[in-house]
A and B are shown apart, each in its own frame.
Chain A
């Protein structure tokens, strides 16, 4: 947390300020105009009518985009084959569970030792309720869902340089921030400072609403008492019998609150993608990819590393080798090809498409991200701290501690998301061997949960730039590159078209992969039908 940053305000900060001062609706409007909060374009799976006889489509990549395309095209009557580099379906839709092995680039190998029922989702971990496309496939494939807790008022917001490094409950900071802002606005109203902009009648209503919104007392002050403690918590909770009397808590002073900058962690749950309700598949996000893989049994060729993609007027020919046996060349051919290989990898594969598409493929850098899963002997965050699901945000390099949204109140073990890192710290964590990433996550995390040292058992750590199948986390478009290249990337080029989160306005989200796949199969289908008629 740094002061004096006002001159280089980040867009993120600006959005947060809009959210703080004008509410979520204004922030949403600002985000929409930036293309950040657009609702999924999903309008139901397309009904592809009249697939031409004996027409084949080769799909590269068995991630969400590739498997949605394969599932729908096969249903429509196309002959479908999928080539996948990994030995499993899903791509970034992936859960690491006990017994799994993962070898990252550079040869660093991990053997996950988690107990049954525990897992880490190295990639996506939550499903917003308005991501209708991916949710519809969960339903279709029979993948059971459960709630994902995003906002937990009893989780922490933390800064190493505020309150002596002691984590604060989200509830407390949220209540105090609102209470103080409400009191300031009420005072301004009473002092006539809003007379020019707010009518007398509306001023009455405004004061009434501020009292409610900020938990102000009868004098419109945010003070220690039952009203404020009902938001921020009591020093002693109300009980029964002779020990019943509650002891109200005392709000944090405004200057201390503002100086802590912990208010910056309050608005995450207001963002469209993080608003209640969110879901997760029971047993890990990877259940979706596994279910797709099961549905497409026999269609997917695993361990296939694509080495060249060539098209002519009649079809597409793809060269690939067994990932385990370099040099062993195979060929797959089809009338059409849908390529979902991440641009980080695709930019290295020879492919005869137009110059604009080639330029687009090479124009997108990939974001760095790291996740660390930590298994503990007991669920101390529940037993000691009464945190059931949700997220702690911190300015330590680990950025995030995610508490499991399942298995509540069980007496067994549990796995925390011990770090979820972007930007510079993600580069740095990626550059460490996996064991060191885990050590660092423990060091930093124990500043928030001292129980770490006593209770830690085993961990896994995934740095996405070390992932052999993606070489990065997701395509990081800028406004400039999108304007210049996005449409070129998404065009059908002869007999080849691309799909995936990188071909969407929902970067990094599975919904982007789903909607890009559905969009592209409809366009390919129209071409194939037109060609058959010609």
Chain B
């Protein structure tokens, strides 16, 4: 699937999230100014963020619903698909794109380099052996 088409699909499905609304329950967290994450490499991004849902072994999990496994998952064949999902979010998964907006999630966003790093890390670990790499420039090219 071409990037352009994928992005258009994301837009159509309303997957782009520009979260700008203060949510009630966090408004008493005033003291707590957070900075953007400074994770050094793809492994660090995975272990600090992704494994919260996709689990430390990348096998996902199932309860009332499921978090998809990132091992043995045919969608991983496309690094661009992964980038689109990370940039724009999917269903309950938040968007990690850095937009420069002032939303409550902005401090949790990832740089294009971090996104490329974590994709390349996942696609070469957990039993995945993809040879191609995605670059930060390619991720940047997928911003709307």
Residues of A within 8 A of B (CB): 1-2, 5, 8-12, 15-16, 34-36, 85, 105-107, 157-159, 261-262, 264-265, 267-268, 271, 273-274, 305-306, 341, 343-345, 347-349, 359-360, 362-369, 391, 393-395, 399-400, 420, 422-425, 427-428, 430-431, 463, 465-472, 474, 476-482, 484-485, 506-509
Contacts and interface: CB of A to CB of B under 8 A. Distances in A.
B24 A159 contact: no
Given A105-B63, A471-B65, A476-B104, A12 B52 contact: no
Contact of B14 (A85, A159, A343, A484): A484
A50 B73 CA distance: 53
Given A2-B35, A105-B55, A271-B28, A474 B23 contact: yes
Contacts of B50: 431
A348 B92 CA distance: 10
Given A365-B89, A478-B17, 16 more contacts: A10-B106, A12-B22, A15-B22, A16-B30, A35-B21, A105-B53, A359-B13, A365-B17, A393-B28, A423-B26, A424-B107, A427-B108, A431-B50, A471-B65, A479-B20, A508-B23
A427 B93 CA distance: 12
Contacts of A344: 65, 91-92
Interface string B41-79: 000000111111101100001111111000000000000
A506 B55 contact: no
A264 B85 CA distance: 35
B39 to A, nearest CB: 10
B30 A268 contact: yes
A478 B18 contact: yes
A35 B47 CA distance: 36
B33 A2 contact: yes
B92 A471 contact: yes
Contacts of B91: 343-344, 347-348, 362, 365
A343 to B, nearest CB: 7
A10 B92 contact: no
A469 B61 CA distance: 12
A509 B31 contact: no
A427 B48 contact: yes
B47 A10 contact: no
Given A268-B30, A469-B64, A481 B13 contact: no
B50 to A, nearest CB: 8
Interface stretch (B94-102, B114-122, B123-131, B135-143): B94-102
Nearest to B53: A465
A423 B61 contact: no
A476 B94 contact: yes
Contacts of B15: 362-363
Contacts of B63: 85, 105, 467-469, 471
Contacts of B47: 431
